Amino acid sequence: MLKILRFFGISSIFIKILCNLSFLNMLISVLFILFGLVILVSGAEFLVKGASSLAKKLGISQLVIGLTIVAFGTSAPELIVNIISALKGSSDIATGNIVGSNIANIFLILGISACIAPLSIKNSTAWKEIPFALLAMILVFTMGNDSMFDGSNFNAITRTDGFSLMAVFAIFMVYIFHIAKSGKPDGNIKIYSMPLSIIMTIGGLVALFGGGELFVEGAIKLARIAGLSESLIGLTIVAVGTSLPELATSIVATIHKRYDIAVGNIVGSCIFNIFWILGLTSTMLQLPFNPNTNLDVMVGILASFLLFVFVFIGKKYKIDKWQGVIFVASYVGYVSYLIYRG
């Protein structure tokens, strides 16, 4: 590159300025990534501690908090991306964002969490919430393939499909309200005042969004400096970027042995992503369904099914480290395929 610039008569001083600018951009990108990680981890710490204290103060289990407040909060990036995509008419992004996030939630985030420590799964999660997440992925497949099931010449997740998804989400929330009333609060939790618990929870969520934005921005800039294509950046960095809040929260929750928050966050996010976010998006805009997405949906169904099966293999109601390794390896294989597919 330098020889080419000199060939065209570009002075050595100007070349040095360009080199310094590239180094400066690279340094800024690295700082964005580092600061983003620090804010992400700090936000996750505040969120887990605040949410745990909030659950104790309200007299409900951490699982309920993980399935609702934490899951809803960490799913906000997917919600924002989908609403913007719907308003712009980008149906592939809207559907792909949700399916990809659910795959990352189980294979990558739950996998990494299980690699850190075996995750205890409650009976209700094994028999109710995980099957709910599996049902969600199956419904995306059936609703999106009109030509396969109805003989239609056009595949789409329609507005009526969207209202149906939101109706199922309402049923899920009634179920959550029921277990919140009947559940018992967990012990061995540091309790803060109610105002401080709320501030820590909300502040942690805000920090997760800010840290995730910095991390993704820095990673994209660094990838462009390295000469990576836009499609590859989108399939890897941006796809994982919207799942960073779930990743940071579940890892910190696992380290603090708040397994119900870690698992509830992941399973709850999978349920929220489809029944609430995809449902809401498709009521705003009919989403044409690309048949090429079917393979990704099948991977999502496989991820949910494996999670259900793994709960009963080995130690019952527990995801062991070796199972976490299988999940992470599966995600690496899936991303490798995405890169190959382009």
Higher pLDDT, 7 or 205: 205
Residue 232 has pLDDT above 60, yes or no: no
Question: Hey, which residues does 157 pair with through a beta bridge?
Answer: 287
C-alpha to C-alpha distance for 129 and 106, rounded to whole angstroms:
13
Higher pLDDT, 282 or 30: 282
- Residues 117-166 have pLDDT tens digits of 999 888 888 898 999 999 999 999 999 998 888 888 888 899 999 999 99
All structural domains of the chain: 60-186+229-341 (1.20.1420.30)
* pTM (two decimals): 0.77
Per-residue pLDDT at 150: 82
- Residues 29-88 have pLDDT tens digits of 778 878 877 887 787 778 778 887 887 787 777 777 777 777 777 777 677 767 766 776
Per-residue pLDDT at 92: 67
Q: Which residues contact 333 (CB under 8 A, 6 or more apart)?
A: none
Residue 231 has pLDDT above 50, yes or no: no
- Residues 88-101 have pLDDT tens digits of 666 666 777 788 88
Going from the C-alpha of 214 to that of each of 44, 148, 242, 309, the distances in angstroms are 15, 42, 12, 37
- Residues 16-28 have pLDDT tens digits of 544 555 667 777 8
C-alpha to C-alpha distance for 259 and 113, rounded to whole angstroms:
9
- Predicted confidence band at 288 (pLDDT cuts at 50, 70, 90)? confident
**What does the DSSP assignment read for 133-151?**
HHHHHHHHHHHH-HHHHT-
Average pLDDT, the chain: 80
The amino acid at residue 116 is I
C-alpha to C-alpha distance for 122 and 135, rounded to whole angstroms:
19
